[in-house]
Chain A
């Protein structure tokens, strides 16, 4: 039990919540905000969307305790003044509402977009609502409505409430290490986008320790060519960050493709690494940047390369008393860098396979080739043999074919025969070919 304080649609709320209580439940069942819907409870529909500090989040994957001190908006906020918000008016006029079940969440995603981007184009709008499913409308009239609303909102950027009026003490990291050492079953909780899905799927609940409000675990900085990424950096932050975009482009691109906007606002790089899914999108880019994991506990700090940190699918060498505080990566300059993944749906889908690359070429020669492949082996991996082979080789069909073959052989060696290879091997051949060719 914990008493929390937050701003809900402009009003301060104080409420005592259970340790495992989900924000969706608190809003619907205890604060009677029924516009927030439950369509799946695993981050796959968007009907539970709320704005936390003006960014869309899935309330079904947010523990209530996490919103302590923050600003929450639901669709009720939009019509609060007794007058319809231009978005609401445009939704009515464009026929953007059919059954209406997705509508509150859609409006919130749209509202958040317009705070950041006053004149979004068609694609930017589609992107912004891509974490909100609608089964009725085919989205067309929704996008139209948002565009129309953007055209008539003429006031300068909406006053943004990034800082909520409730001031909050930042937590000290020492505090967390103490809890971790003393409470054996306690579990680190960052974005919650893996942990709360697992809980829904039947994993037993253990007390969560939220680490997202600890200063030392956040932030992105660069020193002497090494980029330090705090573990609680979200995928949205990594997508936008200037340093990452400049010197680790593949990571920025990968983060941009993860899940949906809401997932990117919630999910952290630390969570992605520690969860250690074979399909984790940040891992291949991190591997080509020779990421070093920084792990800290009461006993001290230890550094371990990401390549050895992950020991099996969903398994790392992290100890129960440790926290991943961040990763250090090497910035790359003068490389052609990218990330590609294959999915069944345009977005909001787990990667069937993925490749991150950073390639340095000079005058028709491969100077340095770094590749990392996801979802083809138990853990994403770097085909070191082929990378070495390519060093200083002339860029040509022959070389590329030989290198691709080496990589496929290496994958077969690691993974053995797998039914999925009927699909994956030819696709990977095609992708690697295209990537090396550039």
Chain B
């Protein structure tokens, strides 16, 4: 496949000028502001709501409760289990109860403060382990949300064949996406009577469905447009402000804006699932893994969000990028009255990678083998059978990622207090074992440009640019001749969510497929012989300019409910990071000095974008490994939730490996989540190398690491 011509990011110019308007920057004459009143209790029934004082405040327009919802009262991205506004019961601190709509934002906030809600508390559950046996049910159906298993071979036999068995327990905690732009949206009625919502989101078509249900209006009467979005990382997949804005516009018939303060964002944003992982690995003397047994317990909070997805994805990825003959994984998600956990960059895989990569190193230590060698001899490659018994047919560049780092690994020089660590991962691109199609269509616009219509949401990762490049390359046109029309339910069909690292691969392919049809047409119309697009447009103006549809749904199969056997993903990305750290034994402070990151992306469509993802993923991985920790009830803003600054960033070298994926556009896969996944694991392994203690719990912040160092020396 040819290299794709790289272009500058198409949204960068406006952004460096400061001219880009995000949802919260918008203004419409006469607009109102909404503020959500939230539960202050983790588990309670509402006994009384007093809105009198707020209601009569000058400038307060409406106070909406669940009784004001004209359609269905529940929403949810996988299952509709969450009340838009609590009816009787609240199940977490932060659950929406009312929406105050007022003439100014300040007034709306003031009114919200004047509202008094009385509660009768119910025993609340804050630990997934007690959740299982608790007499209190968070939902009628019991407190276990989901239980998935992955079975392959016979683990007991595998352990019997093993010369060494390593068994440990790993823990992670809640993380916040901490996108710099908090959730925001604005809505209004347009002059055709359509309800329009502009919002910071990762998926416009899903949001439209949800609004349509809640308002009981047909989807055609609703238009959702993605405003420029200041970061997503999974946190803008679930409904955030959209339905509340829609409800307020519906009732007031006026434009309404809702934007969250940072404090509201921390309170309401879904979190990364805290996972508790018991991990047992058996290997032969030569380092060959014989068996892996994993037990995952997760805390999903009171509502599903992506809980089932994370439960399954963590299970499928539990063995890491290794071919393991005997596998038994149990993965369970329990309801609690903690914050809702949902999608966050990697859907459970960064957590499980922390565990499987720690295990790989422990096996290597136990057998006195080189950790890179152990990875190499077990690594997945073309023809390997994964834990779900999928045969990897192509584009499996894991070994290549190791080979690329090998010279640095072998050449490493260990100085006092410093250490090196490896972290590897594989990651299934797209949704798990279900259909997840994308549509795109092409046409010629009146201005003589090729119109590319796609529902894809650009959230900063660069999909607009990459999709445009794919089109330009396959059509053989210059990007100046293309108009990108995207992220708008009125002008595009569903492209699915911007999540699971799927847009380059899936929507890229949908566009590629559309372009093949259009290319034929353009050829016939002699475009390639020099005829202008405007001219072609005029020829068809009367009878209608043809539209070329493209579609792609990656070939996957549903998984066996017992064993998870099947083909959950059509393709996988692979990566290895090698990290050098320096640990201050006195304070427990870890400084990340250098990262070498090798990624098999299938095909690099835009090298700068890939590197940008990798650097950003490393930063987020440093946060996950060393400092980020959301504490319910204690973390209210960024002063209590540290994310890495420029001074926390190491020197980074990125290596791009291109083991082309035959079903992807020009061979491309995805990199958005893979960029993050191996980083924390490689830091943890480097810490072990530096100071000979192993962190089993993240984040491994100064207190935790100092504690480990202290208990080592006192032994």
Which residue numbers of A lie inside 8 Å of B, CB to CB? 28, 34-35, 37-42, 44-45, 47, 74-76, 79, 84, 88, 91-95, 97-104, 107, 126-127, 129-130, 132-143, 197, 260, 342-350, 352, 422-423, 426-427, 430-431, 434
Q: How many Å lie between the Cα of A132 and that of B643 in the bound state?
A: 11
When the two chains form their complex, are residues B652 and A135 in contact, meaning their CB atoms are under 8 A apart? no
CB proximity to A under 8 Å, residues B16-40: 16-22, 24-25
How many Å from the CB of A110 to the closest CB on chain B?
Answer: 11
How many Å from the CB of B469 to the closest CB on chain A?
Answer: 14
Q: Apart from A101-B460, A140-B652, what 7 extra A-B contacts exist at CB < 8 Å?
A: A39-B180, A92-B13, A98-B460, A141-B608, A342-B589, A346-B648, A431-B586
With A92-B12, A427-B588 known as contacts, the answer to whether A138 contacts B616 (CB < 8 A) is yes
How many Å from the CB of B191 to the closest CB on chain A?
Answer: 25
**Does B261 sit within 8 A of A, measured CB to CB?**
yes
Q: Which residues of A contact B180 (CB under 8 A)?
A: 37, 39, 45, 47, 99, 101-102, 133-135
When the two chains form their complex, are residues B642 and A40 in contact, meaning their CB atoms are under 8 A apart? no
How many Å from the CB of B416 to the closest CB on chain A?
Answer: 14
Q: Which residues of A contact B24 (CB under 8 A)?
A: 38
30 examples of A-B residue contacts, CB within 8 angstroms: A34-B25, A35-B19, A37-B22, A39-B180, A44-B637, A44-B639, A75-B16, A76-B17, A95-B611, A97-B9, A97-B15, A99-B180, A99-B231, A101-B22, A101-B180, A129-B646, A130-B645, A132-B646, A133-B180, A135-B231, A139-B649, A140-B652, A141-B612, A197-B639, A342-B589, A344-B702, A346-B647, A347-B647, A348-B642, A422-B707
Q: Which residues of B contact A103 (CB under 8 A)?
A: 15-16, 18
Q: Which residues of A contact B703 (CB under 8 A)?
A: 423
**Does B706 sit within 8 A of A, measured CB to CB?**
yes
When the two chains form their complex, are residues B16 and A135 in contact, meaning their CB atoms are under 8 A apart? no
**Does B220 sit within 8 A of A, measured CB to CB?**
no
> Which A residue's beta carbon lies closest to that of B640?
A44
With A97-B11, A101-B180 known as contacts, the answer to whether A135 contacts B643 (CB < 8 A) is yes
When the two chains form their complex, are residues A347 and B710 in contact, meaning their CB atoms are under 8 A apart? no
Interface secondary structure of A, over-half rule? loop
Residue in B19, B460, B619 whose CB lies within 8 Å of A139: B619
Q: Which residues of B contact A135 (CB under 8 A)?
A: 177-180, 231, 233, 616, 619-620, 643
Q: How many Å lie between the Cα of A221 and that of B612 in the bound state?
A: 48
**Does B682 sit within 8 A of A, measured CB to CB?**
no
Which residue numbers of B lie inside 8 Å of A, CB to CB? 8-9, 11-13, 15-22, 24-25, 177-182, 228-231, 233, 261-262, 459-462, 585-589, 591, 608-609, 611-612, 614-620, 627, 637-639, 642-649, 652, 701-703, 706-707, 710
The total of interchain contacts (Cβ-Cβ below 8 angstroms) comes to 209
Q: How many Å lie between the Cα of A181 and that of B22 in the bound state?
A: 46
How many Å from the CB of A62 to the closest CB on chain B?
Answer: 18
Q: How many Å lie between the Cα of A127 and that of B459 in the bound state?
A: 27
When the two chains form their complex, are residues B706 and A427 in contact, meaning their CB atoms are under 8 A apart? yes
When the two chains form their complex, are residues B645 and A133 in contact, meaning their CB atoms are under 8 A apart? yes
Task: Please indicate which of the listed interface residues A100, A350, A431 has the most CB atoms of chain B within 10 Å of its own CB.
Answer: A100
> Which B residue's beta carbon lies closest to that of A104?
B18
Residue in B8, B9, B181, B616 whose CB lies within 8 Å of A39: B181
Please list the 3 inter-chain residue pairs (A to B) with the smallest Cβ-Cβ separation, ordered nearest first.
Answer: A35-B18, A99-B460, A138-B615
With A42-B639, A44-B639 known as contacts, the answer to whether A423 contacts B706 (CB < 8 A) is yes
When the two chains form their complex, are residues B585 and A100 in contact, meaning their CB atoms are under 8 A apart? no
How many Å from the CB of A126 to the closest CB on chain B?
Answer: 4
When the two chains form their complex, are residues B231 and A127 in contact, meaning their CB atoms are under 8 A apart? no
When the two chains form their complex, are residues B639 and A352 in contact, meaning their CB atoms are under 8 A apart? no
> Which A residue's beta carbon lies closest to that of B19?
A35
Residue in A75, A102, A143, A345 whose CB lies within 8 Å of B642: A345
How many Å from the CB of B612 to the closest CB on chain A?
Answer: 5
When the two chains form their complex, are residues A99 and B646 in contact, meaning their CB atoms are under 8 A apart? no
With A99-B231, A135-B231, A141-B608 known as contacts, the answer to whether A344 contacts B17 (CB < 8 A) is no
Q: Which residues of B contact A431 (CB under 8 A)?
A: 586-587
Residue in B8, B620, B637 whose CB lies within 8 Å of A40: B637
When the two chains form their complex, are residues B637 and A42 in contact, meaning their CB atoms are under 8 A apart? yes
Q: Which residues of B contact A197 (CB under 8 A)?
A: 639
Task: Please indicate which of the listed interface residues B177, B182, B642 has the most CB atoms of chain A within 10 Å of its own CB.
Answer: B642
> Which A residue's beta carbon lies closest to that of B616?
A138
Residue in B19, B587, B615, B647 whose CB lies within 8 Å of A130: B647
How many Å from the CB of A357 to the closest CB on chain B?
Answer: 15
When the two chains form their complex, are residues A344 and B642 in contact, meaning their CB atoms are under 8 A apart? yes
When the two chains form their complex, are residues B12 and A139 in contact, meaning their CB atoms are under 8 A apart? no
> Which A residue's beta carbon lies closest to that of B180?
A101
Q: Which residues of B contact A430 (CB under 8 A)?
A: 585-587
Q: How many Å lie between the Cα of A434 and that of B417 in the bound state?
A: 15
Residue in B13, B19, B22, B616 whose CB lies within 8 Å of A137: B616
Q: Which residues of B contact A139 (CB under 8 A)?
A: 615, 619, 646, 649
Q: Which residues of A contact B644 (CB under 8 A)?
A: 138, 345-346
When the two chains form their complex, are residues A44 and B638 in contact, meaning their CB atoms are under 8 A apart? yes
With A97-B11, A99-B460, A101-B231 known as contacts, the answer to whether A92 contacts B16 (CB < 8 A) is yes
When the two chains form their complex, are residues B647 and A127 in contact, meaning their CB atoms are under 8 A apart? yes
When the two chains form their complex, are residues A91 and B16 in contact, meaning their CB atoms are under 8 A apart? yes
Q: How many Å lie between the Cα of A244 and that of B643 in the bound state?
A: 32
Q: How many Å lie between the Cα of A394 and that of B262 in the bound state?
A: 55
When the two chains form their complex, are residues B608 and A94 in contact, meaning their CB atoms are under 8 A apart? yes
> Which B residue's beta carbon lies closest to that of A74?
B18
With A42-B638, A97-B16, A99-B230 known as contacts, the answer to whether A426 contacts B645 (CB < 8 A) is no
Q: How many Å lie between the Cα of A76 and that of B587 in the bound state?
A: 44
With A76-B18, A99-B459 known as contacts, the answer to whether A136 contacts B616 (CB < 8 A) is yes
Q: How many Å lie between the Cα of A69 and that of B573 in the bound state?
A: 56
Q: Which residues of B contact A348 (CB under 8 A)?
A: 642, 645, 647
> Which B residue's beta carbon lies closest to that of A28?
B25
> Which B residue's beta carbon lies closest to that of A100?
B15
Q: Which residues of A contact B701 (CB under 8 A)?
A: 344
Residue in B230, B586, B620 whose CB lies within 8 Å of A100: B230
How many Å from the CB of A374 to the closest CB on chain B?
Answer: 14
When the two chains form their complex, are residues B612 and A342 in contact, meaning their CB atoms are under 8 A apart? no
Q: Which residues of B contact A40 (CB under 8 A)?
A: 262, 637-638
> Which B residue's beta carbon lies closest to that of A101?
B230
Q: Which residues of B contact A434 (CB under 8 A)?
A: 586
> Which B residue's beta carbon lies closest to that of A132?
B646
Q: How many Å lie between the Cα of A138 and that of B20 in the bound state?
A: 21
Q: Which residues of A contact B645 (CB under 8 A)?
A: 130, 133, 260, 345-348
How many Å from the CB of A384 to the closest CB on chain B?
Answer: 24
With A101-B180, A136-B460, A423-B707 known as contacts, the answer to whether A141 contacts B615 (CB < 8 A) is yes
Q: How many Å lie between the Cα of A164 and that of B129 in the bound state?
A: 63
How many Å from the CB of A334 to the closest CB on chain B?
Answer: 27
When the two chains form their complex, are residues B619 and A138 in contact, meaning their CB atoms are under 8 A apart? yes
When the two chains form their complex, are residues A41 and B262 in contact, meaning their CB atoms are under 8 A apart? yes
Q: How many Å lie between the Cα of A434 and that of B586 in the bound state?
A: 9
When the two chains form their complex, are residues B706 and A349 in contact, meaning their CB atoms are under 8 A apart? no
Q: Which residues of A contact B702 (CB under 8 A)?
A: 342-344, 352, 423
Q: Which residues of A contact B228 (CB under 8 A)?
A: 99-100
Q: Which residues of B contact A76 (CB under 8 A)?
A: 17-18
> Which B residue's beta carbon lies closest to that of A345?
B642
Q: Which residues of B contact A133 (CB under 8 A)?
A: 180, 638, 643, 645
When the two chains form their complex, are residues A345 and B648 in contact, meaning their CB atoms are under 8 A apart? yes
Q: Which residues of A contact B16 (CB under 8 A)?
A: 75, 79, 84, 88, 91-92, 97, 103, 107
